[in-house]
Protein backbone atom coordinates (compact mmCIF):
# COMPACT_ATOMS: atom_id res chain seq x y z
CA UNK A 1 0.00 0.00 0.00
CA UNK A 2 2.77 2.42 0.96
CA UNK A 3 4.35 2.06 -2.46
CA UNK A 4 1.06 2.59 -4.23
CA UNK A 5 0.47 5.75 -2.23
CA UNK A 6 3.96 7.08 -2.83
CA UNK A 7 3.75 6.34 -6.55
CA UNK A 8 0.47 8.19 -6.78
CA UNK A 9 1.67 11.15 -4.72
CA UNK A 10 4.80 11.38 -6.84
CA UNK A 11 2.69 11.64 -9.98
CA UNK A 12 0.64 14.37 -8.34
CA UNK A 13 3.75 16.17 -7.20
CA UNK A 14 5.14 16.03 -10.72
CA UNK A 15 2.27 18.28 -11.76
CA UNK A 16 2.96 20.54 -8.78
CA UNK A 17 6.58 21.00 -9.88
CA UNK A 18 5.49 21.52 -13.46
CA UNK A 19 3.17 24.35 -12.42
CA UNK A 20 5.90 25.81 -10.22
CA UNK A 21 8.64 25.79 -12.83
CA UNK A 22 6.52 27.00 -15.73
CA UNK A 23 4.99 29.76 -13.62
CA UNK A 24 8.44 31.03 -12.66
CA UNK A 25 9.67 30.86 -16.26
CA UNK A 26 6.71 32.95 -17.36
CA UNK A 27 6.24 35.29 -14.43
CA UNK A 28 9.86 36.31 -13.80
CA UNK A 29 10.37 38.01 -17.19
CA UNK A 30 6.75 39.14 -17.51
CA UNK A 31 6.93 40.75 -14.07
CA UNK A 32 9.95 42.79 -15.17
CA UNK A 33 8.07 44.05 -18.21
CA UNK A 34 5.06 44.93 -16.05
CA UNK A 35 7.31 46.80 -13.62
CA UNK A 36 8.51 48.98 -16.52
CA UNK A 37 4.87 49.72 -17.26
CA UNK A 38 4.18 50.62 -13.65
CA UNK A 39 7.12 53.07 -13.69
CA UNK A 40 6.36 54.44 -17.14
CA UNK A 41 6.42 58.19 -17.76
CA UNK A 42 3.44 57.66 -20.07
CA UNK A 43 0.65 58.34 -17.57
CA UNK A 44 -2.22 56.31 -19.11
CA UNK A 45 -0.08 53.15 -19.32
CA UNK A 46 1.09 53.65 -15.76
CA UNK A 47 -2.50 54.13 -14.57
CA UNK A 48 -3.72 50.98 -16.30
CA UNK A 49 -0.85 48.90 -14.91
CA UNK A 50 -1.32 50.26 -11.39
CA UNK A 51 -5.02 49.44 -11.62
CA UNK A 52 -4.23 45.90 -12.74
CA UNK A 53 -1.78 45.48 -9.88
CA UNK A 54 -4.46 46.57 -7.45
CA UNK A 55 -6.99 44.11 -8.88
CA UNK A 56 -4.62 41.14 -9.07
CA UNK A 57 -3.14 41.67 -5.63
CA UNK A 58 -6.47 42.54 -4.09
CA UNK A 59 -8.38 39.40 -5.06
CA UNK A 60 -7.77 35.76 -4.14
CA UNK A 61 -5.78 33.66 -6.57
CA UNK A 62 -8.48 31.01 -6.22
CA UNK A 63 -11.04 33.42 -7.64
CA UNK A 64 -8.66 34.43 -10.44
CA UNK A 65 -8.24 30.80 -11.40
CA UNK A 66 -11.97 30.38 -11.74
CA UNK A 67 -12.38 33.61 -13.69
CA UNK A 68 -9.52 32.79 -16.04
CA UNK A 69 -10.87 29.31 -16.69
CA UNK A 70 -14.60 29.99 -17.00
CA UNK A 71 -14.55 33.69 -17.92
CA UNK A 72 -13.67 33.44 -21.61
CA UNK A 73 -16.34 30.80 -22.11
CA UNK A 74 -18.99 32.96 -20.51
CA UNK A 75 -17.97 36.13 -22.33
CA UNK A 76 -17.10 34.86 -25.81
CA UNK A 77 -19.11 31.66 -25.78
CA UNK A 78 -16.05 29.53 -26.58
CA UNK A 79 -13.61 27.77 -24.35
CA UNK A 80 -10.28 29.21 -25.43
CA UNK A 81 -8.30 26.84 -23.22
CA UNK A 82 -8.97 23.69 -25.19
CA UNK A 83 -10.67 20.64 -23.77
CA UNK A 84 -9.83 18.15 -21.06
CA UNK A 85 -6.91 18.03 -18.67
CA UNK A 86 -4.62 19.86 -21.00
CA UNK A 87 -6.97 22.81 -21.38
CA UNK A 88 -7.36 23.08 -17.63
CA UNK A 89 -3.62 22.91 -17.12
CA UNK A 90 -3.02 25.73 -19.61
CA UNK A 91 -5.67 27.83 -17.85
CA UNK A 92 -3.97 27.20 -14.50
CA UNK A 93 -0.63 28.29 -15.92
CA UNK A 94 -2.15 31.43 -17.42
CA UNK A 95 -3.75 32.39 -14.10
CA UNK A 96 -0.62 31.64 -12.08
CA UNK A 97 1.70 33.48 -14.46
CA UNK A 98 -0.54 36.56 -14.50
CA UNK A 99 -0.96 36.56 -10.73
CA UNK A 100 2.71 36.06 -9.94
CA UNK A 101 3.94 38.40 -12.64
CA UNK A 102 2.00 41.25 -11.02
CA UNK A 103 3.32 40.36 -7.59
CA UNK A 104 6.87 40.13 -8.92
CA UNK A 105 6.47 43.44 -10.76
CA UNK A 106 6.06 45.25 -7.46
CA UNK A 107 9.18 43.59 -6.09
CA UNK A 108 11.13 44.54 -9.21
CA UNK A 109 9.85 48.10 -8.95
CA UNK A 110 10.95 48.35 -5.34
CA UNK A 111 14.38 47.00 -6.28
CA UNK A 112 14.83 49.25 -9.28
CA UNK A 113 13.75 52.35 -7.39
CA UNK A 114 16.17 51.55 -4.58
CA UNK A 115 19.21 51.86 -6.86
CA UNK A 116 20.86 55.25 -6.24
CA UNK A 117 20.50 57.84 -8.98
CA UNK A 118 24.29 58.12 -9.03
CA UNK A 119 24.58 54.70 -10.67
CA UNK A 120 22.49 55.84 -13.63
CA UNK A 121 24.35 59.14 -13.82
CA UNK A 122 27.75 57.46 -13.73
CA UNK A 123 26.61 55.30 -16.64
CA UNK A 124 25.23 58.27 -18.52
CA UNK A 125 28.38 60.37 -18.32
CA UNK A 126 30.38 57.40 -19.59
CA UNK A 127 28.18 57.39 -22.68
CA UNK A 128 26.23 54.21 -21.96
CA UNK A 129 22.79 53.81 -23.48
CA UNK A 130 19.73 53.39 -21.26
CA UNK A 131 19.73 49.73 -22.17
CA UNK A 132 23.38 49.25 -21.28
CA UNK A 133 22.86 51.04 -17.99
CA UNK A 134 19.98 48.75 -17.14
CA UNK A 135 21.56 45.46 -18.14
CA UNK A 136 25.24 46.11 -17.34
CA UNK A 137 25.00 48.37 -14.31
CA UNK A 138 21.66 48.16 -12.56
CA UNK A 139 20.22 44.68 -13.08
CA UNK A 140 22.61 42.62 -10.96
CA UNK A 141 22.30 45.12 -8.11
CA UNK A 142 18.52 44.86 -8.38
CA UNK A 143 18.67 41.06 -8.31
CA UNK A 144 20.79 41.15 -5.20
CA UNK A 145 18.40 43.50 -3.44
CA UNK A 146 15.19 41.71 -4.38
CA UNK A 147 16.39 38.21 -3.63
CA UNK A 148 14.91 38.04 -0.07
CA UNK A 149 11.37 39.25 -0.96
CA UNK A 150 11.49 37.26 -4.19
CA UNK A 151 12.43 34.17 -2.18
CA UNK A 152 9.36 34.61 0.02
CA UNK A 153 7.09 34.80 -3.00
CA UNK A 154 8.71 31.79 -4.59
CA UNK A 155 8.17 29.71 -1.44
CA UNK A 156 4.55 30.87 -1.40
CA UNK A 157 4.23 29.78 -5.01
CA UNK A 158 5.27 26.24 -4.11
CA UNK A 159 2.30 26.04 -1.76
CA UNK A 160 -0.10 28.02 -3.95
CA UNK A 161 0.18 25.34 -6.65
CA UNK A 162 -2.31 23.32 -4.58
CA UNK A 163 -5.01 25.79 -5.68
CA UNK A 164 -4.85 24.27 -9.17
CA UNK A 165 -7.32 21.63 -8.02
CA UNK A 166 -10.02 24.30 -7.90
CA UNK A 167 -10.40 23.76 -11.62
CA UNK A 168 -9.66 20.08 -11.39
CA UNK A 169 -5.97 19.92 -12.17
CA UNK A 170 -4.63 16.80 -10.50
CA UNK A 171 -1.81 17.75 -8.13
CA UNK A 172 -0.35 16.25 -5.01
CA UNK A 173 -2.99 17.23 -2.42
CA UNK A 174 -5.72 15.91 -4.59
CA UNK A 175 -3.77 12.72 -5.04
CA UNK A 176 -3.49 12.38 -1.26
CA UNK A 177 -7.09 13.19 -0.60
CA UNK A 178 -8.24 10.54 -3.09
CA UNK A 179 -7.05 7.85 -0.69
CA UNK A 180 -9.58 8.99 1.91
CA UNK A 181 -12.42 8.16 -0.45
CA UNK A 182 -10.92 5.14 -2.17
CA UNK A 183 -9.21 3.37 0.78
CA UNK A 184 -10.26 5.18 3.93
CA UNK A 185 -6.69 6.34 4.54
CA UNK A 186 -5.88 9.77 5.94
CA UNK A 187 -2.09 9.49 6.20
CA UNK A 188 -1.42 9.87 2.46
CA UNK A 189 -2.82 13.39 2.73
CA UNK A 190 -0.44 14.14 5.60
CA UNK A 191 2.35 12.60 3.59
CA UNK A 192 1.99 15.35 0.99
CA UNK A 193 3.48 17.72 3.57
CA UNK A 194 6.73 15.81 3.31
CA UNK A 195 6.85 16.53 -0.42
CA UNK A 196 6.23 20.22 0.15
CA UNK A 197 8.81 20.42 2.91
CA UNK A 198 11.43 18.64 0.85
CA UNK A 199 10.78 20.91 -2.10
CA UNK A 200 10.62 24.21 -0.21
CA UNK A 201 13.79 23.13 1.59
CA UNK A 202 15.49 22.60 -1.75
CA UNK A 203 14.26 25.96 -3.04
CA UNK A 204 15.62 27.64 0.07
CA UNK A 205 19.01 26.03 -0.41
CA UNK A 206 19.16 27.23 -4.02
CA UNK A 207 18.14 30.77 -3.00
CA UNK A 208 20.74 30.72 -0.24
CA UNK A 209 23.41 29.72 -2.76
CA UNK A 210 22.51 32.58 -5.08
CA UNK A 211 22.51 35.02 -2.18
CA UNK A 212 25.95 33.83 -1.18
CA UNK A 213 27.19 34.15 -4.75
CA UNK A 214 26.13 37.79 -4.78
CA UNK A 215 27.56 38.61 -1.37
CA UNK A 216 30.89 39.75 -2.83
CA UNK A 217 29.55 43.27 -3.36
CA UNK A 218 27.14 45.56 -1.60
CA UNK B 1 40.09 78.77 -29.94
CA UNK B 2 38.56 77.65 -26.67
CA UNK B 3 38.22 73.97 -26.03
CA UNK B 4 35.08 74.66 -24.00
CA UNK B 5 32.91 77.72 -24.15
CA UNK B 6 29.71 78.22 -22.19
CA UNK B 7 27.55 81.19 -23.10
CA UNK B 8 24.52 82.46 -21.21
CA UNK B 9 23.64 79.26 -19.41
CA UNK B 10 20.37 79.53 -17.51
CA UNK B 11 18.58 76.86 -15.54
CA UNK B 12 15.47 76.87 -13.38
CA UNK B 13 13.94 74.19 -11.21
CA UNK B 14 10.27 75.07 -11.17
CA UNK B 15 10.10 78.72 -10.18
CA UNK B 16 13.60 78.81 -8.75
CA UNK B 17 16.20 80.32 -11.05
CA UNK B 18 19.42 78.54 -10.16
CA UNK B 19 21.63 79.68 -13.05
CA UNK B 20 21.01 83.19 -14.28
CA UNK B 21 23.32 83.48 -17.26
CA UNK B 22 26.75 81.97 -16.83
CA UNK B 23 29.55 82.57 -19.36
CA UNK B 24 33.06 81.24 -19.29
CA UNK B 25 35.58 79.51 -21.47
CA UNK B 26 38.73 77.49 -21.05
CA UNK B 27 41.64 76.70 -23.29
CA UNK B 28 43.17 73.32 -23.89
CA UNK B 29 45.37 72.20 -21.00
CA UNK B 30 43.91 74.70 -18.57
CA UNK B 31 42.47 73.98 -15.17
CA UNK B 32 39.40 75.96 -14.15
CA UNK B 33 38.43 76.01 -10.49
CA UNK B 34 34.86 76.86 -9.55
CA UNK B 35 34.34 78.16 -6.03
CA UNK B 36 31.43 79.71 -4.20
CA UNK B 37 29.01 79.44 -1.31
CA UNK B 38 26.68 76.50 -0.84
CA UNK B 39 23.58 76.70 -3.02
CA UNK B 40 25.24 79.08 -5.45
CA UNK B 41 24.74 76.76 -8.41
CA UNK B 42 28.16 75.13 -8.86
CA UNK B 43 26.84 71.58 -9.04
CA UNK B 44 23.98 72.64 -11.29
CA UNK B 45 26.42 74.30 -13.69
CA UNK B 46 28.60 71.19 -13.83
CA UNK B 47 25.57 68.96 -14.35
CA UNK B 48 24.38 71.16 -17.21
CA UNK B 49 27.82 70.97 -18.84
CA UNK B 50 27.63 67.19 -18.58
CA UNK B 51 24.00 67.07 -19.78
CA UNK B 52 22.80 65.47 -16.57
CA UNK B 53 20.51 68.49 -16.58
CA UNK B 54 19.46 70.37 -19.68
CA UNK B 55 20.19 74.08 -19.51
CA UNK B 56 17.06 76.13 -20.34
CA UNK B 57 19.03 78.67 -22.31
CA UNK B 58 22.53 79.37 -23.57
CA UNK B 59 24.99 77.42 -25.64
CA UNK B 60 27.89 75.07 -25.07
CA UNK B 61 30.64 74.82 -27.65
CA UNK B 62 33.56 72.45 -27.93
CA UNK B 63 36.39 73.73 -30.13
CA UNK B 64 34.08 76.46 -31.43
CA UNK B 65 31.41 74.01 -32.49
CA UNK B 66 28.08 74.45 -30.75
CA UNK B 67 27.05 71.06 -29.39
CA UNK B 68 24.21 72.20 -27.19
CA UNK B 69 21.77 75.05 -27.62
CA UNK B 70 19.23 75.59 -24.87
CA UNK B 71 16.90 77.43 -27.23
CA UNK B 72 16.29 74.32 -29.33
CA UNK B 73 15.74 71.61 -26.73
CA UNK B 74 14.65 68.89 -29.15
CA UNK B 75 18.09 67.29 -29.13
CA UNK B 76 17.93 63.49 -29.20
CA UNK B 77 19.34 61.14 -26.58
CA UNK B 78 21.72 59.64 -29.13
CA UNK B 79 23.11 63.07 -30.01
CA UNK B 80 23.59 63.92 -26.35
CA UNK B 81 25.35 60.62 -25.84
CA UNK B 82 27.76 61.27 -28.67
CA UNK B 83 28.49 64.83 -27.58
CA UNK B 84 28.91 64.20 -23.90
CA UNK B 85 31.93 62.01 -24.59
CA UNK B 86 33.91 65.23 -24.93
CA UNK B 87 33.40 65.49 -21.20
CA UNK B 88 34.24 63.21 -18.32
CA UNK B 89 32.76 63.49 -14.84
CA UNK B 90 33.94 62.55 -11.38
CA UNK B 91 31.28 62.70 -8.68
CA UNK B 92 31.47 63.66 -5.05
CA UNK B 93 30.10 60.23 -4.12
CA UNK B 94 32.39 58.27 -6.54
CA UNK B 95 29.45 56.24 -7.89
CA UNK B 96 31.58 53.23 -8.75
CA UNK B 97 29.71 50.15 -9.95
CA UNK B 98 29.81 47.88 -6.89
CA UNK B 99 29.56 44.56 -8.71
CA UNK B 100 32.69 45.19 -10.78
CA UNK B 101 36.34 45.19 -9.77
CA UNK B 102 38.37 48.38 -10.06
CA UNK B 103 39.68 47.19 -13.41
CA UNK B 104 36.21 46.22 -14.67
CA UNK B 105 34.87 49.61 -13.61
CA UNK B 106 37.49 51.23 -15.82
CA UNK B 107 37.02 48.91 -18.81
CA UNK B 108 33.21 48.66 -18.83
CA UNK B 109 32.34 51.78 -20.80
CA UNK B 110 35.18 51.50 -23.35
CA UNK B 111 34.24 47.86 -23.98
CA UNK B 112 30.57 48.66 -24.44
CA UNK B 113 31.46 51.53 -26.76
CA UNK B 114 33.42 49.20 -29.07
CA UNK B 115 35.62 52.10 -30.07
CA UNK B 116 38.86 50.31 -29.36
CA UNK B 117 40.11 46.73 -29.54
CA UNK B 118 39.69 44.82 -26.28
CA UNK B 119 43.38 44.32 -25.58
CA UNK B 120 44.07 47.99 -26.07
CA UNK B 121 41.25 48.84 -23.63
CA UNK B 122 42.69 46.47 -21.07
CA UNK B 123 46.23 47.79 -21.42
CA UNK B 124 45.08 51.37 -21.11
CA UNK B 125 42.92 50.60 -18.08
CA UNK B 126 45.84 48.97 -16.27
CA UNK B 127 48.00 51.91 -17.20
CA UNK B 128 45.42 54.40 -15.88
CA UNK B 129 45.05 52.52 -12.60
CA UNK B 130 48.83 52.52 -12.23
CA UNK B 131 48.86 56.26 -12.83
CA UNK B 132 46.39 56.84 -9.99
CA UNK B 133 48.51 54.58 -7.79
CA UNK B 134 46.25 51.55 -7.73
CA UNK B 135 48.08 48.96 -9.79
CA UNK B 136 47.93 46.56 -6.85
CA UNK B 137 44.20 47.09 -6.26
CA UNK B 138 42.85 46.51 -9.73
CA UNK B 139 41.17 43.24 -8.87
CA UNK B 140 39.51 44.57 -5.73
CA UNK B 141 35.84 45.43 -5.53
CA UNK B 142 34.79 48.95 -4.53
CA UNK B 143 33.62 47.73 -1.10
CA UNK B 144 37.19 46.60 -0.45
CA UNK B 145 38.65 50.04 -1.17
CA UNK B 146 38.89 53.17 0.95
CA UNK B 147 37.07 56.32 -0.10
CA UNK B 148 40.24 57.85 -1.48
CA UNK B 149 41.01 54.72 -3.47
CA UNK B 150 37.47 54.57 -4.81
CA UNK B 151 37.68 58.15 -5.96
CA UNK B 152 40.96 57.44 -7.73
CA UNK B 153 39.33 54.50 -9.52
CA UNK B 154 36.53 56.88 -10.50
CA UNK B 155 39.11 59.24 -12.00
CA UNK B 156 40.69 56.39 -13.97
CA UNK B 157 37.24 55.30 -15.12
CA UNK B 158 36.42 58.78 -16.40
CA UNK B 159 39.78 59.04 -18.21
CA UNK B 160 39.27 55.68 -19.90
CA UNK B 161 36.77 57.20 -22.33
CA UNK B 162 39.46 59.77 -23.25
CA UNK B 163 37.39 62.90 -22.67
CA UNK B 164 38.70 66.28 -23.82
CA UNK B 165 37.68 67.86 -20.54
CA UNK B 166 37.46 66.22 -17.14
CA UNK B 167 34.98 67.64 -14.62
CA UNK B 168 35.04 67.15 -10.86
CA UNK B 169 32.30 68.05 -8.39
CA UNK B 170 33.90 68.43 -4.98
CA UNK B 171 35.99 65.28 -5.46
CA UNK B 172 37.22 65.26 -1.87
CA UNK B 173 34.17 66.46 0.02
CA UNK B 174 33.00 63.03 1.10
CA UNK B 175 36.47 61.91 2.16
CA UNK B 176 38.08 62.02 5.57
CA UNK B 177 40.42 65.01 5.80
CA UNK B 178 43.53 62.84 6.10
CA UNK B 179 42.95 61.15 2.74
CA UNK B 180 41.90 64.12 0.62
CA UNK B 181 45.60 64.60 -0.16
CA UNK B 182 45.96 61.39 -2.14
CA UNK B 183 43.11 62.41 -4.46
CA UNK B 184 44.27 66.02 -4.79
CA UNK B 185 47.76 64.79 -5.69
CA UNK B 186 46.33 62.71 -8.53
CA UNK B 187 44.40 65.72 -9.87
CA UNK B 188 47.49 67.88 -9.58
CA UNK B 189 49.50 65.35 -11.49
CA UNK B 190 46.86 65.36 -14.25
CA UNK B 191 47.15 69.15 -14.34
CA UNK B 192 50.91 68.86 -14.80
CA UNK B 193 50.26 66.51 -17.70
CA UNK B 194 48.09 69.24 -19.24
CA UNK B 195 44.75 67.57 -18.77
CA UNK B 196 41.96 70.10 -19.31
CA UNK B 197 39.86 70.16 -16.16
CA UNK B 198 36.95 71.92 -14.50
CA UNK B 199 37.04 71.43 -10.75
CA UNK B 200 34.36 72.50 -8.29
CA UNK B 201 36.12 72.61 -4.96
CA UNK B 202 36.08 73.91 -1.43
CA UNK B 203 39.82 73.35 -1.11
CA UNK B 204 41.03 76.90 -1.62
CA UNK B 205 44.70 76.08 -1.16
CA UNK B 206 44.41 73.45 -3.86
CA UNK B 207 42.54 75.81 -6.20
CA UNK B 208 45.16 78.47 -5.77
CA UNK B 209 47.99 76.08 -6.44
CA UNK B 210 46.60 74.11 -9.36
CA UNK B 211 44.10 76.31 -11.21
CA UNK B 212 44.91 78.57 -14.13
CA UNK B 213 41.60 80.37 -13.77
CA UNK B 214 39.11 80.65 -10.95
CA UNK B 215 35.46 81.58 -11.13
CA UNK B 216 33.44 82.55 -8.12
CA UNK B 217 29.77 81.63 -8.43
CA UNK B 218 27.22 83.18 -6.13
CA UNK B 219 23.47 83.35 -6.58
CA UNK B 220 23.57 81.72 -10.00
CA UNK B 221 25.96 84.18 -11.62
CA UNK B 222 29.72 84.48 -11.95
CA UNK B 223 30.34 87.17 -9.39
CA UNK B 224 34.04 87.35 -10.10
CA UNK B 225 36.64 85.59 -12.19
CA UNK B 226 40.35 85.78 -12.69
CA UNK B 227 43.68 84.12 -12.06
CA UNK B 228 44.19 82.47 -8.67
CA UNK B 229 46.38 85.39 -7.63
CA UNK B 230 43.67 87.89 -8.50
CA UNK B 231 40.89 85.94 -6.87
CA UNK B 232 42.68 84.94 -3.71
CA UNK B 233 45.27 87.71 -3.45
CA UNK B 234 43.19 90.66 -4.53
CA UNK B 235 39.46 89.94 -4.38
CA UNK B 236 37.50 92.89 -5.75
CA UNK B 237 33.91 92.24 -4.76
CA UNK B 238 32.51 92.40 -1.26
CA UNK B 239 30.85 89.02 -1.73
CA UNK B 240 34.06 87.25 -2.65
CA UNK B 241 35.92 88.85 0.26
CA UNK B 242 33.15 87.72 2.62
CA UNK B 243 33.20 84.25 1.15
CA UNK B 244 36.97 83.88 1.42
CA UNK B 245 36.84 85.31 4.92
CA UNK B 246 34.17 82.88 6.01
CA UNK B 247 36.10 79.77 5.09
CA UNK B 248 39.48 80.75 6.47
N1 LIG C 1 16.91 68.96 -8.80
C2 LIG C 1 16.68 70.12 -8.16
N3 LIG C 1 15.40 70.52 -7.94
C4 LIG C 1 15.16 71.67 -7.30
N5 LIG C 1 16.11 72.52 -6.85
C6 LIG C 1 17.39 72.18 -7.05
C7 LIG C 1 17.74 70.96 -7.70
N8 LIG C 1 19.09 70.88 -7.74
C9 LIG C 1 19.54 71.99 -7.14
N10 LIG C 1 18.55 72.78 -6.73
C11 LIG C 1 18.68 74.08 -6.05
O12 LIG C 1 19.54 74.88 -6.80
C13 LIG C 1 20.37 75.66 -5.97
C14 LIG C 1 21.81 75.46 -6.35
O15 LIG C 1 22.19 74.14 -6.02
P16 LIG C 1 23.62 73.54 -6.36
O17 LIG C 1 23.60 72.14 -5.89
O18 LIG C 1 23.93 73.77 -7.79
O19 LIG C 1 24.57 74.41 -5.43
P20 LIG C 1 26.12 74.21 -5.13
O21 LIG C 1 26.75 75.51 -5.47
O22 LIG C 1 26.63 73.01 -5.77
O23 LIG C 1 26.12 74.04 -3.55
P24 LIG C 1 27.06 73.12 -2.61
O25 LIG C 1 28.32 73.86 -2.38
O26 LIG C 1 26.26 72.98 -1.36
O27 LIG C 1 27.26 71.81 -3.30
C28 LIG C 1 20.05 75.27 -4.54
O29 LIG C 1 19.20 76.25 -3.99
C30 LIG C 1 19.33 73.96 -4.68
O31 LIG C 1 18.37 73.81 -3.67
MG1 LIG D 1 27.37 71.13 -5.10
Q: Above pLDDT 90, what percent of chain A?
A: 62
Q: Is A162 exposed, middle or buried (0-12, 13-18, 19+ CB in 10 A)?
A: middle
pLDDT at A57 over 70: yes
Structural domain boundaries in chain A = 2-217
Binary contact (A127, B97; C-beta < 8 A): no
pTM: 0.89
pLDDT, tens digit, 9 for 90 and up, residues B10-52: 999 999 999 999 999 999 999 999 999 999 999 999 999 999 9
pLDDT at A79 over 80: no
Partners of A127 on chain B (C-beta within 8 Å) are: 81-82, 84-85, 109, 113, 161
For ligand 1, say whether the CB of B220 is within 6 Å of any of its atoms.
no
Quick check: B97 and A121 CB within 8 A? no
**Alpha-carbon span A208 to A141, nearest angstrom:** 16
- State whether the beta carbon of B125 lies less than 6 angstroms from ligand 1: no
Write the residue with the smallest CA distance to atom 27 of ligand 1. B38
B40 lines ligand 1 (CB under 6 A): yes
ipTM of the complex: 0.93
Residues of chain A with C-beta less than 8 angstroms from the C-beta of B141: 216-217
pLDDT in tens, B79-134: 888 889 999 999 999 999 999 999 999 999 999 999 999 999 999 999 999 999 99
pLDDT digits (tens, 9 = 90+) for A184-214: 888 888 888 888 999 999 999 999 999 999 9
Mean pLDDT of A61-83: 84
Structural fold of domain A2-217: MetI-like fold (1.10.3720)
Helix (H, G, I), strand (E, B) or coil at B64: coil
What is the distance between the alpha carbons of residues B181 and B64, in angstroms, rounded to a whole number?
Answer: 35
In degrees, to the nearest 5, what angle opens at C-alpha B198 toward C-alphas B29 and B15?
150
Q: Compute the average pLDDT of residues A17-24.
A: 94
Nearest by CB to residue A126, choosing from B98, B109, B142, is B109
Amino acid sequence: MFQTVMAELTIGFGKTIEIFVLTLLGALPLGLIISFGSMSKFKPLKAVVRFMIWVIRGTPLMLQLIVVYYGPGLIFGTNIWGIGNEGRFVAVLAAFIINYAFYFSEIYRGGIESIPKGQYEAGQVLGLTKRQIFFNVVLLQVIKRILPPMGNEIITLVKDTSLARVIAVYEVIWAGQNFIKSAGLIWPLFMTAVYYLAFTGLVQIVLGRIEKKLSYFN
Amino acid sequence: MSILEVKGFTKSFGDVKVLKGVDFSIEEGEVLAIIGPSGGGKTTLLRCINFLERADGGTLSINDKVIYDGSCPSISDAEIRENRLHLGMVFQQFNLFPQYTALENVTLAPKLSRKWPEDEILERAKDLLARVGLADKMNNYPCELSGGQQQRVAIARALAMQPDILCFDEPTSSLDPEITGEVLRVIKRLAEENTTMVVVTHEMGFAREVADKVIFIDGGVIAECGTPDEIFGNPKSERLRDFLGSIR
